[in-house]
Amino acid sequence: MTIRIAVFDSKRYDRAGLDTANQRYGYEITYFEDRLNRHTTPLVAGFDVVCPFVNDKLDRTVIAELKRQGVKLIALRCAGFNGVDIVAAAEMGIPVTRVPAYSPEAVAEHVFALLLTLVRKTHRAYQRIREGNFSLDGLVGFNLHGRTFGVVGAGKIGIAAMNIAKGFGCRVLANDNNASPERAAELGCEFVDLPTLLAQSDIVSLHAPLTPATQHMINAETLALMKHGSVIINTSRGGLIDTKALLRALKTGKLFGVGLDVYEYEEGVFFEDLSHEALKDDMLARLTTFPNVMITSHQGFLTEEALTAIAETVLENVTAFQNGQPLVNVVKPGA
């Protein structure tokens, strides 16, 4: 029997990657631009597998409907799984798989695309030159060499970011649950607690997963610990930062710059073309007015290499499930 897969929140680049990978598997794949949520569950009728993305919402009600419709596997095509009720899925016997590591370098390199743009103000210089303004006034930046680069979350992406930072000549601090002297020596970093990292770092790069413990880990209190003139880069999950507190810190001039590839209320905005309408999110609209804030629309994963790896892993997860093999990328309650 041919496995039928429903891919939700799909774009042209998703389809290209999955179609290419599927040439080896021969699954029947149908693409939906809609996100999977309570309103779109009728679309799953007749499918064996659903393939949601990072902003799809699979709560207990949705998962119960998937179960009723005969869906046997939730195959996420992202690393994050905070949009899925993992406990409900386990109770209803629907495994959830993810793509834990597609191309850590893709996201880590995007960190430095945002960072270098901010610290050398190339986005402002680009706009000036287009308008015939060749003045350098107001474009003074700072060297990365000799600065302290703090990584919150030393997983695969965090480690890739550390390696790049060391190449720039940065001192590297890290905060992670899995810290040890042996691991510090292996990675070439210093493990410290979060307050120490925030107080000593010139650049703070967030790579932690979004959990109840990490929700709004960057807030008014932790922002107050940071150096005046430091930089925050978030390419992980938007909910790690309390946006209201971030706006207050920006207004006071506390931060040299902020680079965001994620935003806590990005659902329904990121990945979409909203150029024909007013931006309804007042906080996001305010963020776009700051000249020292760079926002990209969850773009860190968007390289040919990463898209290929995502597609391959998704279909490998489906194949393992179909063949009754161990699901190496399964997400279990309590993960």
The residues annotated as belonging to the active site are: 237, 266, 298
Cα–Cα distance measured from residue 51 to residue 222, given in angstroms and rounded to the nearest whole number:
36
User: 3-state secondary structure string, the chain?
Assistant: CCCEEEECCCCHHHHHHHHHHHCCCCCEEEECCCCCCCCCHHHHCCCCEEECCCCCCECHHHHHHHHHHCCCEEECCCCCCCCECHHHHHHCCCCEECCCCCCHHHHHHHHHHHHHHHHHCHHHHHHHHHCCCCCCCCCCCCCCCCCEEEEECCCHHHHHHHHHHHHCCCEEEEECCCCCHHHHHHHCCEECCHHHHHHHCCEEEECCCCCCCCCCCECHHHHHHCCCCEEEEECCCHHHECHHHHHHHHHCCCEEEEEECCCCCCCCCCCCCCCCCCCCCHHHHHHCCCCCEEECCCCCCCCHHHHHHHHHHHHHHHHHHHCCCCCCCECCCCC
Q: From the centroid of its chain, how far is CA 279?
A: 22
Q: Which two tokens stand for residue 43?
A: 């679309």
Q: Which residue has the tokens 């191309």?
A: 103
Asked if 263 and 269 touch (Cβ cutoff 8 Å), the reply is yes
Half-sphere exposure of 230 (CA within 13 A, CB side): 24
